[in-house]
Amino acid sequence: MHGETHKISRSGRLRAAVLGANDGIVSTASLLTGVAAANSSSHGILLAGVAGMVAGAMSMATGEYVSVSSQADTERAAIAEEQAELENNYQAETHELAAIYVQRGLNRQLAHEVATALMKHDALDAHTRDELGISDTSSARPFQAALFSAGSFALGAVIPFVAAIALPGIAGIVIAALLALVILGAVAARAGGAPVMRSMIRVSFWSSLAMALSGLTGTLFGHLAG
């Protein structure tokens, strides 16, 4: 037996972790940049950072859990519907599965033989995988997604927060955030087998834009409040 581990098998965890960390860095750095640009006190900046970290992590966990739970509910409903169809018209479902294999390149006789064998082994599993496109790799896992998102957000948010303490001023926050984002983009791209440079450029551009807009907003409202 030869077992292979493909990068796609960890795509769900990787997506949640990268999304959480990226959002943690960008949103916290943008928040700190905006507050600092409004001429807030050091205490106010750090307080905003802590509030942003906690609120962001909880928001990520909640949003990811609700979103993935909805996906899981849809998958369960589709599987239940497929189970009912198998119970009501087994033969038609066999022909339907064989037609899928014909579309994938098998001749009709072989497709029917494969469909019949797989249906005898586990009819619901065969239709879940090949008709509905649901597998262990792609199936929704709400708790896992929520945990990865919240944890990675908090870890990402720590970077600009620590920079705000160690390197007072907007420049320190922005530089620390961009460096972290570039590294994160490169690591995520390499782990997922995607182009590294494209990922680094993409995350740097959009993150810089987010922080610049936050800084401009903070500056504007700082002047208005003053």
Domain boundaries in the chain?
Answer: 16-221
Segment 169-183 shows an average pLDDT of 90
The residue with tokens 């709400």 is: 142
Provide the percentage of residues in the chain whose pLDDT is more than 90. 18
Determine what percent of the chain falls in helix, strand and coil, rounding each to the nearest 5. 85, 0, 15
pTM comes to 0.69
Q: Indicate the pLDDT class of residue 29, thresholds 50, 70 and 90.
A: very high
Question: Of all helices (H) and strands (E), which one includes residue 137?
Answer: none
Side chain identity at residue 150, one-letter code: A
Q: 196-225 vs 11-37: helix axis angle to the nearest 10?
A: 30
Around Cβ 180, how many Cβ atoms within 10 Å? 23
pLDDT average, residue stretch 126-135: 80
Judge contact between 145 and 61, C-beta under 8 A. no
**pLDDT at residue 20 greater than cutoff 70:** yes
pLDDT of residue 4: 47
DSSP per-residue string spanning 21-50: HHHHHHHHHHHHHHHHHTT--HHHHHHHHH
pLDDT value at 183 more than 60:
yes
Query: CB atoms < 10 A from the CB of 192, how many?
Result: 15
Torsion of the alpha carbons at 178, 7, 16 and 171, rounded to the nearest 10: 0
> Is-contact 69 140, C-beta < 8 A?
yes
- CA dihedral (169, 46, 37, 24) positive or negative: positive
